[in-house]
Structure 1
């Protein structure tokens, strides 16, 4: 569970920080207490020496033991009945020589004492022992309080972390519930929770964008299936009717009528084959599998023009003005030019020329046909669109739709306008190839959007 993992991580970090702080505080307090004990021991020793020099007996303290050590090593307690401090060789040397000091920690009757030995002016030395019992108790109590405080602070941080992480992850939980509902119901119209301005909000926006793309994709698929079923029904009905007529006639038809029916079968079968092929291309986007590269539009246009001129016998002229290399998929671009030429051949009267013009990174194909009415210049790039007066012309209505989709995939734009002198001019613009010397001329498209014209 993400909430538990984040809470554990937060609590671990907080506990580590608290423990480090508590340990540092304990060490600092211990050092301060130790320094105070040392100063207290030195002050007490100086006080005892001063009082002894004045032939006065120092007052007793419960945490202190004082005694005088003669130069010969004899010990005289200053407070009767008190436990004697152990004498070391260093203590005797101070008492004998009257020089230096001796400092040591020893155990006396189960209690640790700090002993300081200093020489007396009249010979010998004074030994002062300070008990560490209170200091040890203070240190132990402080350690226990630190442990309890650390435990309480860790528990409080765990509670606050759990609540805070739960609040932070609340949009994630709403997003998870929404995505689960979409997954289980397959209802892409399900709305996602409102998006904030933080990273979780950006994640929600990304999911919403992806969901919108899925909605559009499903809508386009449904529209394609609907339109395809409608377009397939016409040639299939014609093929079926012609076949049934031949079956019922069983050779009784005139040869001329039979030839017409067979010609109809062949024509409808070819149309059906073209329609299925273009539907497969629309559904698979197989031209987008190639890697984009630098494409020289005049070379590509000359190749398409030669092939179509040889196949159709039509005169196709290629003209150029400041051609600019473009960055696109070669096969996809070739398919776009082929479809534009097929469209021009289809709507141009026999014997009329077709012009393919390249201006910078703009390619257009002009025909001498009836032209495209202004209200139809946007719809001609829709799938299965058949304008007024074109219903009887063979075709699937997918050629220009394929051009639009392929050009849009290359971040270009398509257009359809009226040609000067009559006819239509249909084509596309593509972004120029990025590079130092390839500056885009005025006719190049540099926008990433592709409005359907």
Structure 2
């Protein structure tokens, strides 16, 4: 569960941070205790030396022992009730005037003492020894408190993290619940939870965009199926009627009537073949499998013009003005130019030329046909659209729709305008290709 995993990560990070902080604090506390211990020895030594200088006996402290060390090595405790501590060689060196002071640690009967030896004005030295028991108590108390504090702080951070994550992940659970409902019911209109401004809100908005795209895709598929069934009905009815007429009139039809029926069958079968092929292309769009790259519009126009000249024997010219490379899928661009040329040749009289013009990142095909009315210039890119002046011309009404889908998939735009001296100019613009940075 995500909540438990995040809580474990937070707790582990908190425990690690607190352990590191406790370790550093312990080292800092140890240094402070040692510094305070040495300062206490120094202060006690200064006080005792000053009192001895005025022939006064220093007050007895239970945690310290003071004794005078003679130059010859004799030791005399200032408190007669205390046991004399052994004088280390460094203390004897101070008593003989060989050293200014000495700081040593000694162990007597299992007890550890810190010892500071300083010279006395009249000769000899003063040894001040302090038991480490006080410092050890502070050290042990700190060591005992650190684990318990760390455990308590870790438990508190775990609780707070668990409660905070419950609130933070609540929108994620709501979003997951709604997506499960959508998966079960297939209802793409189900509203998503309200989106905030954080990352979860961005995720919700991304889901909403995805659902909107799925709704559009489903609507387009349903519309495509409905339009296709409507468009297929007419040629299929014609084919069926002609076939039934041939079947009923077998051997009794005049040759010219039989030839006319067969011609109708071939024409309608060819129209069906074209329609089905374009429907498959429109539904699958295999060009989307191709990666976008740099495309030369001039080369694509010249190639398509040569192909249509050879196929139809018509006059197809190419004019170029300041072309620039575009970023698109090469096969998709070739398909678009082919569709535009086929459309222009179909609607343009046989004795008129068709011109492909490339200017910058814009390619257009100009014909001399009936033209496109202003209120039809957007509709011509719709699926199965047939204008009033083109109803009698054979076709599926899918050529420009395919151009629209392929161009917009490459972040381009399509357009259709009227030519100044008659006919139409139909084409597309694609984004210029940006050279790779070096």
TM band (smaller chain): 0.7 to 0.9
Q: How does 1:152-231 map to 2 (within 5 A)?
A: 152-231=152-231
**Structure 1, 277-286 or 203-212: larger mean CA deviation:** 203-212
Contact kept, 8 Å, 1:354 with 1:365, in 2: the verdict is no
Deviation at 1:195, TM superposition (A): 2.7
Q: Specify the SS of the correspondent of 1:194.
A: coil
Please, which runs of 5 or more residues in structure 1 have no aligned partner? Answer: 437-453
Partner of 2:337: 337
Q: How does 1:419-430 map to 2 (within 5 A)?
A: 419-430=419-430
**Structure 1, 209-218 or 417-426: larger mean CA deviation:** 417-426
Q: 1:97 to 1:387 in 2, by over 3 A?
A: closer
Q: 1:56 to 1:190 in 2, by over 3 A?
A: same
Q: Specify the SS of the correspondent of 1:202.
A: helix
Deviation at 1:277, TM superposition (A): 1.0
Partner of 1:36: 36
Partner of 1:449: none
Q: What is the alpha-carbon distance in structure 1 between the residues aligned to residue 434 and residue 8 of structure 2? A: 50
**Structure 1, 156-165 or 117-126: larger mean CA deviation:** 117-126
Q: 1:394 to 1:65 in 2, by over 3 A?
A: same
Deviation at 1:335, TM superposition (A): 2.4
Q: Specify the SS of the correspondent of 1:318.
A: strand
Q: What is the alpha-carbon distance in structure 1 between the residues aligned to residue 28 and residue 147 of structure 2? A: 16
Contact kept, 8 Å, 2:355 with 2:367, in 1: the verdict is no
Q: 1:47 to 1:373 in 2, by over 3 A?
A: closer
Q: In the alignment, is residue 131 of structure 1 matched against residue 131 of structure 2? A: yes
Deviation at 1:149, TM superposition (A): 3.0
Partner of 1:140: 140
Q: What is the alpha-carbon distance in structure 2 between the residues aligned to residue 408 and residue 128 of structure 1? A: 93
Q: 1:76 to 1:189 in 2, by over 3 A?
A: same
Deviation at 1:280, TM superposition (A): 1.5
Partner of 1:117: 117
Q: What is the alpha-carbon distance in structure 1 between the residues aligned to residue 329 and residue 119 of structure 2? A: 101
Q: What is the alpha-carbon distance in structure 2 between the residues aligned to residue 247 and residue 235 of structure 1? A: 18
Q: What is the alpha-carbon distance in structure 1 between the residues aligned to residue 138 and residue 208 of structure 2? A: 62
How many residues are matched? 433
Q: 1:409 to 1:46 in 2, by over 3 A?
A: closer
Contact kept, 8 Å, 2:302 with 2:318, in 1: the verdict is no
Deviation at 1:363, TM superposition (A): 3.4
Deviation at 1:42, TM superposition (A): 2.7
Q: What is the alpha-carbon distance in structure 1 between the residues aligned to residue 258 and residue 231 of structure 2? A: 26
Deviation at 1:274, TM superposition (A): 0.5
Deviation at 1:159, TM superposition (A): 2.5
Q: Specify the SS of the correspondent of 1:18.
A: helix
Q: Specify the SS of the correspondent of 1:324.
A: coil
RMSD: 3.0
Q: In the alignment, is residue 105 of structure 1 matched against residue 105 of structure 2? A: yes
Q: What is the alpha-carbon distance in structure 2 between the residues aligned to residue 50 and residue 311 of structure 1? A: 123
Deviation at 1:271, TM superposition (A): 0.8
Q: In the alignment, is residue 78 of structure 1 matched against residue 84 of structure 2? A: no
Deviation at 1:285, TM superposition (A): 1.6
Q: In the alignment, is residue 243 of structure 1 matched against residue 249 of structure 2? A: no
Partner of 1:441: none
Partner of 1:295: 296
Partner of 2:3: 3
Q: How does 1:303-318 map to 2 (within 5 A)?
A: 303-314=303-314, 316-318=315-317
Give a deviation string over 1:31-73, Cα, whole Å, max 9, x none: 2222222222233234334444544433222112233444444
Contact kept, 8 Å, 1:98 with 1:125, in 2: the verdict is no
Q: 1:52 to 1:325 in 2, by over 3 A?
A: closer
Deviation at 1:270, TM superposition (A): 0.6
Q: Specify the SS of the correspondent of 1:8.
A: helix
Q: What is the alpha-carbon distance in structure 1 between the residues aligned to residue 123 and residue 268 of structure 2? A: 135
Q: What is the alpha-carbon distance in structure 2 between the residues aligned to residue 381 and residue 32 of structure 1? A: 84
Deviation at 1:276, TM superposition (A): 1.1
Q: What is the alpha-carbon distance in structure 2 between the residues aligned to residue 97 and residue 42 of structure 1? A: 19
Deviation at 1:398, TM superposition (A): 0.7
Q: Specify the SS of the correspondent of 1:112.
A: strand
Partner of 1:451: none
Deviation at 1:96, TM superposition (A): 5.5
Q: What is the alpha-carbon distance in structure 2 between the residues aligned to residue 33 and residue 62 of structure 1? A: 19
Please, which runs of 5 or more residues in structure 2 have no aligned partner? Answer: none
Q: 1:121 to 1:423 in 2, by over 3 A?
A: closer
Q: In the alignment, is residue 348 of structure 1 matched against residue 348 of structure 2? A: yes
Partner of 1:407: 407
Deviation at 1:382, TM superposition (A): 0.7
Q: 1:124 to 1:413 in 2, by over 3 A?
A: closer
Partner of 1:360: 359
Q: What is the alpha-carbon distance in structure 2 between the residues aligned to residue 197 and residue 173 of structure 1? A: 17
Q: What is the alpha-carbon distance in structure 2 between the residues aligned to residue 321 and residue 95 of structure 1? A: 109
Deviation at 1:108, TM superposition (A): 3.2
Q: What is the alpha-carbon distance in structure 1 between the residues aligned to residue 31 and residue 127 of structure 2? A: 24
Deviation at 1:21, TM superposition (A): 2.9
Give a deviation string over 1:239-262, Cα, whole Å, max 9, x none: 222223323334333322222222
Q: What is the alpha-carbon distance in structure 1 between the residues aligned to residue 42 and residue 281 of structure 2? A: 99
Q: 1:296 to 1:101 in 2, by over 3 A?
A: closer
